[in-house]
Amino acid sequence: MPTIRQLPTSVVNKIAAGEVIERPASVVKELMENSVDAGATRVDVTIEHGGSELVRITDNGCGIAEEQLQLSIASHATSKIVDADDLFHVGTLGFRGEALASIAEVSQFRLRSRTPDSDSASEMYVNGGQLVEVTPCGAAVGTTIEVRNLFFNTPVRKKFLRTTQTEFGHLSEAFTRIALAFPHVHFTLKHGARQIYDLPPSDNWRERLAAFFGDEIATHLIPVNNADDAIRLTGYVADPKFNRANNKMQFLFLNGRHIKDRALQHALSEAYRGLLLTGRYPIAFLRLQMPPEMVDVNVHPTKLEVRFQDSGRIYSQLLGTLRTKFLSTDLTATYKPIESDDLHGAASGGGNINGQDVETAAKMREELVAWAKGQLPSDTESTSGQREVQESLDLDFRSAQRQPLELSRFDRDALQSGPSARGYAESAVESARLDEPHETPAGPTPGRALQLHRRYLVTETPEGMVVIDQHALHERILYEEFREKALAGRLETQNLLTPETMHLSPSEFSAVMEAQETLAKLGFQVESFGGDTILISSYPAILDRRKPSDTLREMIDHLVGDGKRPDRRDLLDELLHMMSCKAAIKSGDRLSAEEIDALLELRHLCQDAHHCPHGRPTSLVFTKEELDRRFERI
C-alpha cells in the first residue's frame, strides 16, 4: 500500500518556487516589482550570462529593517496586505509574499538593505533556502539583492534553461514591461560589461516608448485618452501602417501591472478591422486605471491574467474609444501610398504601384471609413458587409503592389534548356499511350489557361482539366527552388551598397543572433551593430523587389512568434516557406497571359506540384472521365 507522507518543508518550498520562478526573467520581474513597491525612484539591474549566473538589483526604496530581514524570505510573508479583505484592494504589484522565499530557495541569495532611519545596513546570505548569516555592513538607503547560480540545487529546472541569448531575451522583455509601466522611475540594465538600457525618468511616455521601440514608431503613435467615472484608458496605438505579424507589440497595463487579456486583445483587433490586412496585428501601448476593487488580480501565479468585475464594460470602452479615435484621425491620408516603401508596413507585398491601383485603393479606404462612420455605434460582431469591405481591400492592396511576375534565373535556365512544358509533354505521351492512342495530346497552349477570380487558373490537360491555385503553385515552385539552392549553399545573395540597420527589441535581437547561421544560408548576412540594432549587409537576390528589412521583419516576427521556437532543424525549412510565400504572387493578383503561361510552364519543376509548402493542394485535377460521368455521357 502506498503511504501518504507530509513532504519536508524544503521540498514544499521548491515546488512552490517552481510556480513563481521559472527562469532568470522571473527573478528580474519579481525583484523589480519589489523595488517599485518600495517606492524606489532608481533601479539598477545587472545580470551575467543571461541572468543564470547573476541577477543583481539595487534600488533606493524604503529598505527592510534588520529585524525583518529573515521574515522577508519566509514564505507567505508580506508587508503589503494584512487580511483577506485586502486581497480585493491590492494597490501594490506584490502581495503574496512568495517571491523572495522562492528565489532564496533555489539560488545563492544575498540581500543588503538599509532603511532611512538607520545609519547602517545589514546583509543576509541564504544558500539554497538555508540561512547562512546576517552581518552588519555599510550601504546607502535602499536594497540590493544578488541572486547567483539560479537553480544550482534543482538540476531539473536548470536543465530547462536555454542559451544565454534566449534567457536574456526573456529577461529583457520582463525588464521592458516594468520599465514601460513606470516611466517616472530611472531604470538601467547591464548585461556583463554591456550597458543595455539607461532610462532617465520621464513625464512623457512617448520618450520611454521611443527608448525601447525606436523613434519611427514613437512618432507615429496616436494618443488615446478616455475616462468614465471609474475607468481611465490612456496611452497610444500605432498608425495602422506600423503593424506586426504577431501580437507581441501589444502592451496592456492595468494599474501599472502588465497583463494579458484575450478579450481586450480582441477589442483591439476589432478596432483595427478593415485597417489591417488579415494576419497582421496592431501595435498598442495602453494603460487602464481603475479602483483596485474592480479587478481580481489573484487568479494567476505570476499575476499575468486578471479577472475584471465587468469585462464587458472595459471591452466596450476600449473598442468605442479606438473607433471614435480612428474616425477622427485622418488615417486615409497615411494610406496614400506615394512610394512603394511607404507601404511596407501596411501589406506584405513589395514593388511599385501603378497609379490606377493606388487611386482605387485610396478610394476604397475612404469608402470604408465612410461606411464605418455610418456603423457607429455598431455592435462588436463583424457583419458580412464589413468582411466584404475587408476582403476587397485585401485584394486591392495586394494587386496595387505587384509588379509583373518575373521569372528568376533558375526558371529561365529551365525554360531555355528544352521545349516548354517538358512535364506535360511527357505525361501527355504516356497517358495518350495508355488511354486514347488516337487522340492528339493537348499541351498547355499559351494563353489557353483562364484566370478566374484573380485567384485560380483553369487549363486543359491531356487527362482532363486542372484548376490551379496561382499563389499556392508559385509558392511551391519558389520553395523548391530556394530549398535546392539553400541546401547546396548556392542561393544568390545581393550585397547592399549601404548596409541597412534595424532596431530590434532585445528578445528579437537574441532570436536573430541565434538564427544567424540559418539566416546566412538564406542569404541574409546580419550582424550585431551595438545595442539591439542589427546590420543587414546582404539579402537573397531572389527578393530583389522587396526591401530586405521588410522580409527580415517578417522572419523575426516568425522567430519570436508564438513562444515555442521551432526546432533548429526545421527553422531553415520554415523560413524557406515564409520566403517563398512572400515572394510568390498573391491571390488577388491579376496575371497577364504571359505570366499565366510562365507559371504553368514552371509547374513541372516542383517535386510535389500538387501541394503548396503549407500542405494545401496547389491544383485540383478533373479527369475527362469524371467530367463525362458528371455530364452523364457515360
| Distance from C-alpha of 406 to C-alpha of 611, rounded to nearest angstrom | 22
- In the region spanning residues 24 to 43, those forming contacts with Mg ion, defined by CB under 5 A, are 34
Q: Establish if 290 lies at the interface with ligand ADP (CB under 6 A).
A: no
143 contacts ligand ADP (rule: CB under 6 A) = yes
Instruction: Let me know: does 596 contact 449? Beta carbons within 8 Å.
Output: yes
For residue 52, give Cα distances in angstroms to 157, 168, 368.
Answer: 11, 9, 51
Cβ proximity to Mg ion, 143 vs 505, nearer residue: 143
Q: Is 401 in the site for Mg ion (CB under 5 A)?
A: no
Out of Mg ion, ligand ADP, none, what residue 444 binds, judged by CB under 5 to 8 A for its kind, is none
Q: What is the C-alpha to C-alpha distance for residues 351 and 318, in angstroms, rounded to an integer?
A: 36
- Rounded least distance, CB 32 to ligand ADP, Å: 9
* Residues between 374 and 393 that touch Mg ion (CB under 5 A): none
Select 30 or 514, whichever has its Cβ closest to ligand ADP: 30
Bridge partners of residue 191, in order along the sequence: 47, 194
By rule CB under 6 A, what count of residues binds ligand ADP? 23
**Of the residues 13, 17, 21, 30, which one makes contact with ligand ADP according to CB under 6 A:** 30
Burial (0-12, 13-18, 19+ Cβ within 10 Å), 462:
buried
Q: Per DSSP, which regions of 407-492 are E strands?
A: 450-452, 456-460, 464-469
Q: Which partner from the list Mg ion, ligand ADP, none does 571 bind, CB cut-off 5 to 8 Å by kind?
A: none
Q: How many residues of this chain interact with Mg ion, rule: CB under 5 A?
A: 3
Q: How far is the CB of 272 from ligand ADP (least distance, A)?
A: 36
125 exposed, middle or buried (CB, 10 Å; 0-12, 13-18, 19+)? middle
- One-letter amino acid at 18 equals G
Please tell me the distance from the alpha carbon of residue 81 to that of residue 88, in angstroms, as a whole number: 10
Contact range with ligand ADP by CB under 6 A, out of 54-62, 216-224, 429-437, 529-537: 54-62
- 148 conformational bin, left if phi > 0, alpha if psi -120 to 50, beta if neither: beta
Q: In b/e form, how buried is each residue of 529-543, taking b as 16+ CB within 10 angstroms?
A: eeebebebbbbbebb
Least distance between ligand ADP and beta carbon 81 (Å): 8
Angle at 243 between CA 238 and CA 249, to 5 degrees: 75
Query: At closest approach, how far in Å is the CB of 22 from ligand ADP?
Result: 16
Whole-number minimum distance, CB 205 to ligand ADP, in Å?
A: 24
Rounded least distance, CB 145 to ligand ADP, Å: 7
Site for Mg ion in 82-111 (CB under 5 A): 94, 99
- Copy the grid coordinates of residue 44: 539598477
CB proximity list for 438: less than 8 A, separation 6 or greater: none
182 binds ligand ADP, rule: CB under 6 A: no
Judged by phi (left if over 0) then psi (alpha if -120 to 50, else beta), residue 61 lies in: beta
Residue showing the smallest CB distance to Mg ion in the complex: 94
Give min distance, CB of 115 to Mg ion, in A: 18
Q: Using CA atoms, how far apart are residues 169 and 472, in angstroms rounded to an integer? A: 35
CA 284 distance to own-chain centroid: 13
Among 22, 25, 26, 35, binds ligand ADP (CB under 6 A): 35
Q: Which is nearer to ligand ADP, 109 or 236 (CB)?
A: 109
Binding mask 461-500 for Mg ion (x = CB under 5 A): ----------------------------------------
365 vs 348: CA distance, rounded Å: 17
Residue 59 binds to ligand ADP (criterion: CB under 6 A): yes
**To 5 degrees, how large is the angle CA 389–CA 395–CA 399?**
145
Neighbouring C-beta atoms of residue 460, cutoff 10 Å: 15
If one asks whether residue 123 binds ligand ADP (CB under 6 A), the answer comes out as no
Which of 34, 60, 255, 420 touches ligand ADP (CB under 6 A)?
A: 34
Do the beta carbons of residue 196 and residue 189 sit within 8 Å? Answer: yes
- Residue with smaller CB distance to ligand ADP, 79 or 538: 79
Q: What does 79 bind: ligand ADP, Mg ion, none (CB cut-off 5 to 8 Å by kind)?
A: ligand ADP
The CB-of-110 to Mg ion minimum distance in angstroms stands at: 17
Q: What is the 3-state secondary structure (H, E, C) of 329-374?
A: CCHHHHCCCCCHHHHCCCCCCCCCCCHHHHHHHHHHHHHHHHHHHH
The interface partner of residue 463, options being Mg ion, ligand ADP, none and the CB cut-off 5 to 8 Å by kind, is none
66 binds, among ligand ADP, Mg ion, none (CB under 5 to 8 A by kind): none
x-marked contacts with ligand ADP along 66-105 as a string, rule CB under 6 A: ------x----xxxx-------------xxxxxxxx----
Residues near Mg ion (CB under 5 A): 34, 94, 99
Binding residues (CB under 6 A) for ligand ADP: these are 30, 34-35, 38, 59, 61-64, 72, 77-80, 94-101, 143
